[in-house]
Amino acid sequence: MSKYFEVLVELKIESENSKGYSKIKKVKETYLVDAMSVTEAEARVVESFTKSGFSQHYSVLQAKGSKIIDVITPEDNK
């Protein structure tokens, strides 16, 4: 049986405003991760960011168990 965790990540993204000035913008994103423990969920997110070559700064803020019990995908209906 799958167990899901919500992992909150803060990304620091550099953007330019209309005057051409550079600004660091903080964005928070939540990822749903299939894992056996909080530690594994956090490690999977870090591994995913590393493999994707994400070059901006990020940090994992929180990892917690999710109330989601299952994910139904189009492949499940075939």
For the residues 60-64, what does the mean pLDDT come to? Answer: 96
Q: What is the pTM of this model?
A: 0.82
Residue 11 has pLDDT above 80, yes or no: yes
Average pLDDT (45-61) is: 88
pLDDT of amino acid 16: 83
CB within 8 A of 8, min separation 6: which ones?
Answer: 28, 29, 30, 60, 61, 62, 63
C-alpha pair distances (Å), 43 with each of 36, 59, 75: 11, 12, 27
